[in-house]
Amino acid sequence: MKIHEYQAREMLDRYGVPVPPAHLATGADEAAAAFERLAADGATLAVVKAQVHAGGRGKGGGVKLVRSADEAREAAQKMLGQPLVTPQTGPEGVPVEKVLVAAGVDIQKEYYVGMAIDRGQGRPVVIASAEGGVEIEQVARERPEAVIRMPIDPEAGLRPHQARFIAFRLGFAGKQVSAAGRILSRLCALFLENDASLAEINPLVVTTADDENPDGRVVAIDAKINFDDNALFRREAFAAMADLQEQQGGEARAEEHGLSYIKLDGDIGCLVNGAGLAMATMDLIKLHGREPANFLDVGGSATEEAVTEAFKIILEDPAVRGVLVNIFGGIARCDTIANAIVNAAREVGFTVPLVVRLEGTNVEAARGILEKAGDGIPTMQIGRDLTDAARKITSAIA
């Protein structure tokens, strides 16, 4: 699960990481008012930031420095209600419903600090680089030596000497060493205590020195936190932070119905039970020269309603040119799937070719249901086995 920058900043703040004050706005006047509030506390510079679940906003016009309430209003006006296209969103972009108006800082230098799970090592890892502000993946590719990776003990967390070591390696000096070390420790605690799968501050900045802070301050000005979906059952409070609107429409609806659905780039919609079978089905589609439009595992205990919803989600995707159903009935029963096919045909209609391969529990009953409904589903063909089904669907849309 992803959360927005403003929510991530609030979490960092709760964990004692210095973050400039900020106010959320859903309208242009509200953004202007937010600037006034920051100005009343002494800010002369602010940043208007589109709140979307995608990075690289700076490059797409989703981060704008402003110096007056009017500028803040204008920047918010331009962002709100418009799709924001960044290198991470795809060409259609994502709609901007909220902007954050944050007190701006004068930046002396930008750093990257983050935490993730290193699956190879089976441990959380601190990732840090003195080359912040840009995408860490790019730094890692082009100059791997510029990225520090330190695996940590999930029980002990980041030990003080490890935090200091990283801070030194990043080139922090003087008072900044302990400031940066503390931020790393707090980030690590936040990551471990909340089942995060990613927690990054990019950039962490040293501000330009002034009379009050001759060494500059070390503050987080952007944050991204993702949580492990498999741990959400014990993080009930986090559900309130989910932005269902922002999750792709179909994915959010699938989640509500207990289906695992992931949209992909191809044109053959798949409805399968079991993650392993779903993967194998996708492989077979590729083997026959096409690409799957989605991964969809209806699971073992899916109801007829949930499977009907699954068909609707698949059929609403304009990229889908054909649908392949591959069910090995075990706990999931073939007749449930057959009924869902009939429902979906009635409620939405299969205007694209449909190939169905069913085996296992209640398969005879399922065949009966489909035969009876056959005339109402003229684009339907039955696959004898998985290979036959893959051939039929790929040649039906060739």
- Indicate whether 216 belongs to the interface with ligand GDP (CB under 6 A): no
- Would you state the structure tokens that stand for residue 331, as one six-digit string? 């706990």
The region of 103-111, 166-174, 355-363, 369-377 touching ligand GDP under the rule CB under 6 A is: 103-111
The binder of ligand GDP chosen from 18, 21, 56, 360 (CB under 6 A): 56
> Closest distance between ligand GDP and the C-beta of residue 34, in Å?
14
112: annotated active-site residue: yes
Residue 157 binding: pick among ligand GDP, Mn ion, none (C-beta 5-8 Å cut-off by kind): none
Is cis: bond before 203, omega within 30 of 0? yes
- Indicate whether 63 belongs to the interface with ligand GDP (CB under 6 A): yes
Which one, 109 or 257, has the nearer CB to ligand GDP? 109
Give the Cα separation of 161 and 175 in Å (integer).
Answer: 16
Helix axes 28-40, 69-79, angle to 10 degrees: 140
* Alpha-carbon torsion (223, 227, 232, 235), positive or negative: negative
Interface with ligand GDP: number of residues (CB under 6 A): 17
Residue 107 binding: pick among ligand GDP, Mn ion, none (C-beta 5-8 Å cut-off by kind): ligand GDP
- Token look-up 């289906």 returns 259
111: annotated active-site residue: no
Q: What one-character-per-residue DSSP string does 267-293 give?
A: SEEEEESSHHHHHHHHHHHHHTT--BS
> Closest distance between ligand GDP and the C-beta of residue 200, in Å?
10
The binder of ligand GDP chosen from 2, 17, 48, 55 (CB under 6 A): 55
Which one, 54 or 271, has the nearer CB to ligand GDP? 54
Helix axes 386-396, 275-287, angle to 10 degrees: 50
132 to 151, contacts with ligand GDP by CB under 6 A? 133
Give the Cα separation of 305 and 336 in Å (integer).
Answer: 9
Q: Which of 3, 55, 42, 44 is nearest to 24 (CA)?
A: 3
> Closest distance between ligand GDP and the C-beta of residue 127, in Å?
15
Residue 57 binding: pick among Mn ion, ligand GDP, none (C-beta 5-8 Å cut-off by kind): ligand GDP
- Indicate whether 57 belongs to the interface with ligand GDP (CB under 6 A): yes
Q: What one-character-per-residue DSSP string does 147-181 give?
A: EEEEE-BTTTBS-HHHHHHHHHHTT--THHHHHHH
Among 131, 200, 261, 309, the one annotated catalytic: 200
Among 112, 131, 261, 309, the one annotated catalytic: 112
Burial (CB count within 10 angstroms: exposed 0-12, middle 13-18, buried 19+), residue 135: middle
Which one, 133 or 292, has the nearer CB to ligand GDP? 133
The binder of ligand GDP chosen from 27, 58, 93, 151 (CB under 6 A): 58
- Indicate whether 221 belongs to the interface with ligand GDP (CB under 6 A): yes
Q: Which residues bind Mn ion (CB under 5 A)?
A: 202, 222
Which one, 176 or 202, has the nearer CB to ligand GDP? 202
Helix axes 334-347, 363-373, angle to 10 degrees: 20
Give the Cα separation of 337 and 326 in Å (integer).
Answer: 10
Give the Cα separation of 14 and 9 in Å (integer).
Answer: 9
Which residue ranges make up the site for ligand GDP (CB under 6 A)? 47, 49, 55-58, 63, 65, 104-105, 107, 110, 133, 202-203, 221-222
**Catalytic annotation, residues:** 112, 200
